[in-house]
Amino acid sequence: MELILLFLAAILSGFVLMSVELVSYLSFLTPIFDIVGSLAMIIFSLALIYKGLKTLFGK
């Protein structure tokens, strides 16, 4: 159960990384945060789907 909550927190942090507003002298980092946030959401969403299917169909 703790692992699932950790995955959900990681997905939430991906959303936060994509929506962060940087100050003008750090604005060049915006594309990097978008990419890292997108990858975090995709990877941990796939992990949750895998864990759900594994539980649904047995081990």
| pTM of the predicted model as reported, rounded to 2 decimal places | 0.77
Query: How buried is residue 14: exposed, middle or buried, by Cβ count under 10 Å (0-12/13-18/19+)?
Result: buried
> In angstroms, rounded to a whole number, what is the distance separating the alpha carbons of residues 50 and 41?
14
The yes-or-no verdict on residue 3 having pLDDT over 90 is no
What's the pLDDT score for residue 18?
83
What's the pLDDT score for residue 26?
81
User: pLDDT (tens digit, 9 = 90+) per residue, 4-59?
Assistant: 899 999 999 988 888 888 787 888 888 898 899 999 999 999 999 999 888 889 86
Q: Domain spans of the chain?
A: 2-57
